[in-house]
Amino acid sequence: MSTSDYGARFLPKESIAGILADFQPGKKVRVAGRVMSRRDMGKSTFSDLKDEGGRIQTYAKKDVLGEENYKAFKGLNLGDIIGIEGELFLSKTGEKTIKIEKYERLSKIVQTLPEKWHGLKDIEIRYRRRYVDLIVNDDVRATFKKRSRIVSEIRKFLDGRGFMEVETPMMQPLAGGARAKPFVTHHHALHTDLYLRVAPELYLKRLLVGGFEKVYEINRNFRNEGVSVRHNPEFTMMELYQAYADYSDMMNITEELVSHLVKMLYGTEEIPYGDRTLNFKTPWKRVSFYGALQEATGMDFRTVNVREAAKKLRVEFSDTMEDVDILDEIFGEKVEKELWDPTFVIDYPTVMTPLAKAKSDDPDLVYRFELFIARMEVANAFSELNDPVIQRQRLEDQRELIGEEKEIDDDFLMALEYAMPPAGGLGIGIDRLVMLLTNQPSIRDVILFPQLKPLKKAEEEPLAAENELA
């Protein structure tokens, strides 16, 4: 048995979960994991070993290991990683146990794990030291396993419907596809600034021009904006585009996909979220943007002065904000906060959505929906605008409206001149969707390493001092 504090290769033959599921007394096993507790009883020691999927009791005996090895075993620290070989048996109390015949210390812990009963409760420290959070909080680890399963199932769902997964640039010469403040970087070899993408939309549409009819991408977007329980500057989106479809087809896909995920995880159409129950029974509710505003406020926002209405409704706004942004703020305050069960908000103002096709019977509105669940926007979809002349005019109007030096993507407009088929496009925020499906209150609870405000090293305390935090 190795006496090194940092061992080498040790491939387990079984997992702890597998052993517990098919427990056979007398069977020889080889497992590895982290020592999570120890109970010394003189010439024998019980301890708990934990791997990624489970936890099991182990039994070390001086007569079996020998005096020197047993003494070294008793010297293990809580949190050390060890590999063991042994035989399965039931203890006198009937607990499934591994009798250790050989062991190796594979990695020595230098820090101290949080105290057993209090655990790691401080939320800020949990996010900053996620590795410790994952060690001591099984429910956190379970959440991220569910996230992985959800993303995998989304891919399976789309692949099964003929969509092809693609990859588009993360660094782009122009920040297009969404109205958001980008992160800027510089490519020294090319002597040019590049932008971390705010959305993949314009590149995915180029693929429709090129002849791919069903494409999707699951990847990161970056927006140099605020951080909150619903916003992280680096976030995961699924965007898909289907040629010859429209936003009604995107509604159907959204309902089918999300309902499938709900039933996969819960086996029912109702799921808990906080102290409420969300009902995913289809078809989901549909309300118009202006209709929902009028119902909530008693005002017709197609005719009223938006700034005066905001003042009357006590919705805060700055003098530099455009009317379209104030309107969005009013919607967020008066409508969005009341949308709990899945609701499609349709028929948005054209001025809000320059990349969507205008409604044939009302050009001031576009074929667009946003899906709201639990007071959060979860998905956004259009019937995609494919007229290059109108698209250029819309983008120029937007640039004039927002008063910023925003370049227009002429290459995208050229692509439209090669003819893009009519299409439906859909974007789903994976992080927010996972929040809902795992009953988590903050986006930071579903991102392994969320963005946090920087801390000065002098302000950081050793992890050992965090045991008393509750």
Residue 43 in tokens: 């010439």
Structural domain including 88 reads: 16-107
User: What is the per-residue pLDDT across 380-419, written as a single tens digit (0 to 9) for each?
Assistant: 999 999 999 999 999 998 887 765 567 899 999 999 999 9
Whether 169 and 264 share a structural domain: yes
Same structural domain, 260 and 376: yes
191 and 254 belong to one structural domain: yes
Of the residues 107, 127, 159, the one at which a domain ends: 107
pLDDT (tens digit per residue) in 178-196 = 888 999 999 999 999 999 9
The answer to the question of residue 403 being in a domain is: yes
Is residue 4 in a domain? Answer: no
- Decide if pLDDT at 467 tops 70: no
Q: Are 223 and 273 part of one and the same domain?
A: yes
Instruction: Name 348's Cβ contacts closer than 8 Å, sequence gap at least 6.
Output: 289, 356, 365, 366, 368, 370
Res. 468 pLDDT band, cuts 50 70 90: very low
- Quick one: 99 and 191 in the same domain? no
CA end-to-end distance (rounded Å), the chain = 40
Among the listed residues 465, 446, 467, the one whose alpha carbon sits nearest the alpha carbon of residue 231: 446
Residue 309 is assigned to a structural domain of this protein: no
How is residue 227 written in tokens? 């951080």
Are 359 and 270 in a shared domain?
Answer: yes
Q: Do 239 and 347 sit in the same domain of this protein? A: yes
Q: What pLDDT is recorded for position 457?
A: 45
Mean pLDDT of 303-321: 95
What was the pLDDT predicted at 465? Answer: 45
- Per the prediction, the chain carries an average pLDDT of 93
Helix (H, G, I), strand (E, B) or coil at 457: helix
Confidence of residue 120 (pLDDT cuts 50, 70, 90): low
Is there a domain that residue 394 lies in? yes
* Residues written for the chain: 470
Q: Is 67 a residue whose pLDDT tops 70? A: yes
Check the CA dihedral 9-10-16-17 and report its sign: positive
Q: Are residues 178 and 43 part of one domain?
A: no
In a domain, 210, yes or no: yes
Q: Are 392 and 399 in contact (CB under 8 A)?
A: no
Task: List Cβ neighbours of 27 (8 Å cut-off, separation of 6 or more).
Answer: 87, 88
The tally of domains found in the chain comes to 2
CA-based Rg of the chain, rounded to a whole angstrom?
Answer: 28
Indicate which CATH number applies to the domain containing 99.
2.40.50.140
pLDDT in tens, 72-89: 999 999 999 999 999 999
Domain final residue pick, 88, 107, 126:
107
Confidence of residue 2 (pLDDT cuts 50, 70, 90): low
159-166 LR contacts (CB < 8 Å, sep 24+):
161/214, 161/253, 162/214, 163/214, 163/215, 163/216, 163/240, 163/242, 164/212, 164/214, 164/215, 164/216, 165/215, 165/216, 165/217, 165/218, 166/204, 166/207, 166/212, 166/215, 166/216, 166/217
pLDDT number for residue 3: 57
> What value does the mean pLDDT take over residues 366-376?
98
Mind listing the pLDDT tens digit for each residue in 335-357?
Answer: 999 999 999 999 999 999 999 99
464 confidence band (pLDDT: 50, 70, 90): very low
Domain-located, residue 456? no
| 388 backbone dihedrals φ, ψ, rounded to 5° | -65, -30
CATH number at residue 180: 3.30.930.10
Of 53, 86, 107, the one marking the end of a domain is 107
Assess whether 399 and 263 both reside in one domain: yes
Q: What digits encode the pLDDT tens for the residues 253-310?
A: 999 999 999 999 999 999 999 999 999 999 999 999 999 999 999 999 999 999 999 9
Does residue 291 belong to any structural domain of this protein? no
On whether both 210 and 101 belong to a single domain, the answer is no
Model pLDDT for residues 32-55, shown as the tens digit of each residue: 999 999 999 999 999 999 999 999
In a domain, 295, yes or no: no
